[in-house]
Structure 1
Amino acid sequence: MTSTPEAQVQELRRQLQSLLEAAKANERKLDRFDALERRLMAVESMEELVNLLLVDCRHDFQLDAAELWLLDPDGELSRALPALPMARAPRLLDTHGPLRDMFGAVRATRLVGPGHGEAVVAQAFGDDTPMRSAALLPLIRQGLLIGSLHFGSRDPERYDATSGTKFLDRLSAIAAIAIESMLNRERLRRAGMTDGLTGVHNRRYFDHRSLIEFSQAVRHRYPLACLFLDIDHFKAINDGHGHPTGDEVLRQVGGLIQRSLRTGDLAARYGGEEFVVLLPRTDLAGAREVAERIRLMVQDAPFITPDGGTLNATLSAGLAMLQPGAASFAELLNSADQALYEAKRAGRNRTVAAAADISAATAAAS
């Protein structure tokens, strides 16, 4: 049946209207992507970047789920991210395995939906977040796959495999640049406050942070403990086994100290073979427990030398508590230093509390 001219005109008008609506929708989509790219390039912290990708993206693009995977084989991000104020945290990967399973050798944006990607979608979001379609964006920098960004929808047609990926490809490139930039900025920041040999904070950072902890403890009237830790007979280790072995002992002791502390505690290399630890909101008994835990871990550890051998080492600990009416943090630090001296004088490989703390504890018990 041949359509009339009027019907043909109506059909053309309908098609034109459909094209106009599609063009407007694409323009709005382009505006949203452009705004997101500008915000990605302007972020100033890793937490802001993660919140932007996992929270703001989900809201702005009306997504049902958003996930970020980041490769972290050296634990660099796992040390930096837990303390950050993030609404959602990324998944940190020890190896490339999950990324290889998702992208294979192609490493291009994948649009997956019903009938051709349920397993991949489940892998991307987990079984407890059922999605019907997803966009999986590889994050690539300098030819290396450093992570992936996943957008999920309960609408099975949201991410059709036949759709174009131009906008998503550009977003993944911008996101990868922003992530690398934030990682480099975090490395520089940590380099300025971290001891290069042991991985704990350096003296400069400790001097800054200790004043903050001191003022907070005085203002809110909570206990603050300080530990001075010194490796026993360290000169003999250097003289008998060489400085590379001494450096290895320092590195391993720094790691043992870090593993013994809670989030919010502070450890720093104070100088040479000395370490200092601050324990906010910790009483004398709790601080002594931490000091003894560190001391025993060092005593029992077989320290691996650069030539593959092992040696034993011990440390002495001086412990002091912030006293009521203290005028400065230096008073607490000096008390811990004097307690360390007493531990050395008494035979080493022991924890000694400052005399004022012992007297206070005795008075409280009587």
Structure 2
Amino acid sequence: MNPSDPHAQVQELRRQLQSLLEAAKANERKLDRFDALERRLVAVSSMEELVNLLLVDCREDFQLDAAELWLLDQDEELRRALPALPMIKAPKLLDSHAGLKDLFGTVRTTRLVGPGHSEALLAQAFDPQAGVRSAALLPLIRQGLLIGSLHFGSRDPQRYDAASGTKFLDRLAAIAAIAIESMLNRERLRRAGMTDGLTGVHNRRYFDHRSLIEFSQAVRHRYPLACLFLDIDHFKSINDRHGHPAGDEVLRQVGGLILRSLRTGDLAARYGGEEFVVLLPRTDLAGAREVAERIRLMVQEAPFITPDGGTVSATVSVGLAMLPAEATSFGELLQAADRAVYQAKRSGRNRTVTHEDAPA
């Protein structure tokens, strides 16, 4: 440009002004997108909706090539809640802080990672097949604790330049962390209302509700439904000899062994005292007997750790019943399993008895 040419100077000023206007409009559109996303995050009503919003909708709205969500799950709360949810994409659940420390170290702020440096972080944060060349790694922090991270990736190496600002991303990370904590708290309250506080299995109230649904489905679709009644043998003697805290530990650990033996979709509940009940949908007699024996043997072989550091042995008697084809109520199945476990205890304990083998 000729500095003495007024017309050229005007043209250059117009070009610069137009460039500034376009940048301002682009920032306004970006702000609108972030504002809309924040409103949706605040309004989510389920963990499924929240995860899909962060991993699917964000990817589409912001034209990303990859999106990942890592969540710390040391107590396995999310592992219990998420498998039953029909999510398009699931988060990665972490047993410890190790992976998060690799990404953020002692710096708890958004990291913009591009080509030429920290490429190992890209390989760690994303599936290599995604071809991510630049990324924004957002730490999710609540009450000073790092609870996870949200990763946005692009194949464009210039998309997330290390020199760019992170104001919008930092705010999004803060809102996302609040939403995640809110959903976790809601899940804890939900589980508290349907879970036995000592053993971690469902409570009688939830079982009574869910069993009617399973009965109705089995009758309608004509698939087998098995019921197991499990009773800890000589439980009163355990309490008398070792104390009630030791008895509580036996109950808690037996509940854990039962849960480890079941599939997704099976149902276990503490029915009362030292009794547990298990429902096995779509399971025939041979399959149900296999589950019953697996639980019985696991309990028989387990050294139950008491609060004082000692060990105590325990066994269970199991009653097994299959839903009769002519059944008109769930109570018929429950009563049949109850009669079978009574026969198991009367015939020597620490055994599985099916309803067909038990006298009426």
**TM-score interval w.r.t. the shorter chain?**
over 0.9
CA deviation digits over 1:82-113, x for unaligned, max 9?
A: 11111111111111111111111121001110
Alignment CA distance shift 1:158-1:357 (3 Å): farther
Residue 67 of structure 2 contacts residue 151 of structure 2 at CA under 8 Å; is this kept in 1?
A: yes
Q: Which amino acid aligns with 1:38?
A: R
Which whole-Å CA distance do the structure 1 matches of 2:170 and 2:154 have between them?
Answer: 18
Question: What residue in structure 1 maps to residue 283 of structure 2?
Answer: 282
Q: CA deviation at 1:300?
A: 0.8
* In 1: Cα distance, 2:357 partner to 2:250 partner: 33
Corresponding position of 1:58: 59
Q: Which amino acid aligns with 1:55?
A: V
The answer to whether the Cα contact below 8 Å between 1:111 and 1:134 also exists between their aligned partners in 2 is yes
Distance 2:74 2:284 in 1: 37
Q: What's the CA shift for 1:126?
A: 3.2
Deviation beyond 4 Å, 4+ runs, structure 1: 356-359
Of the structure 1 ranges 17-26 and 120-129, higher mean CA displacement relative to structure 2 is found in 120-129
Once the two structures are superposed, what CA deviation does each residue of 1:301-335 show, in whole Å capped at 9, x if it has no partner? 11111111111110000011100121110010001
Residue segments in structure 1 that go unaligned for 5+ positions in a row: 360-366
What is the rounded CA distance, in whole Å, between the counterparts of 1:128 and 1:348 in structure 2? Answer: 56
Which residue of structure 2 lines up, in the alignment, with residue 362 of structure 1? none
Q: Which amino acid aligns with 2:35?
A: D
2:254 matches 1:270: no
What does residue range 318-357 of structure 1 map to in structure 2 within 5 Å? 318-355=319-356
> What's the counterpart of residue 149 of structure 1?
150
| Contact in 2 for aligned 1:66/1:151 (Cα 8 Å) | yes
CA RMSD of aligned residues (A): 1.3
Report deviation, 1:6: 0.7
Residues 150-209 of structure 1 deviation map (CA, whole Å, 9 limit, x = unaligned)? 000000110011111110010000000000000000000000000000000000000000
CA distance in 1 between counterparts of 2:129 and 2:74 reads 26
| Deviation (angstroms), 1:268 | 0.3
Instruction: Name the CA distance, whole Å, in 2 between partners of 1:186 and 1:295.
Output: 31
Secondary structure of 1:108's counterpart equals: coil
Kindly provide the CA deviation profile for residues 32-82 of structure 1, in whole angstroms up to 9, marking residues without a partner as x.
Answer: 000000000000000110000000000000000000000111111111111
User: What is the CA–CA distance in structure 2 between the aligned matches of 1:37 and 1:51, rounded to whole Å?
Assistant: 14
Q: Is the 8 A contact 2:67 2:152 kept in 1?
A: yes
Q: What is the TM-score when the length of structure 1 is the normalising length?
A: 0.96
Which digits, 9 at most, give the CA deviation of each residue in 1:327-358, with x for residues without a partner? 11001000100111111111111111113899
Aligned partner of 2:40 in structure 1 is 39
- CA-to-aligned-CA distance 1:193-250 (integer Å, 9 cap, x gap): 0000000000000000000000000000000000000000000000000000000000
Report the 3-state secondary structure (helix = DSSP H, G, I; strand = E; otherwise coil) of the residue aligned with 1:308.
coil
The answer (yes or no) to whether the contact 1:122–1:130 under 8 Å persists in 2 is no
Look up the SS of the partner of 1:128 in the other structure: helix
Q: Which residue of 2 aligns with 1:70?
A: 71
Give, in whole Å, the separation in 1 of the partners of 2:292 and 2:78.
Answer: 28
Give the stretch that moved more between structures: 92-101 or 173-182. Answer: 92-101
Aligned residue for 1:105, secondary structure, equals coil
CA distance in 1, matches of 2:157, 2:61: 19
List alignment gaps of at least 5 residues for structure 2.
Answer: none
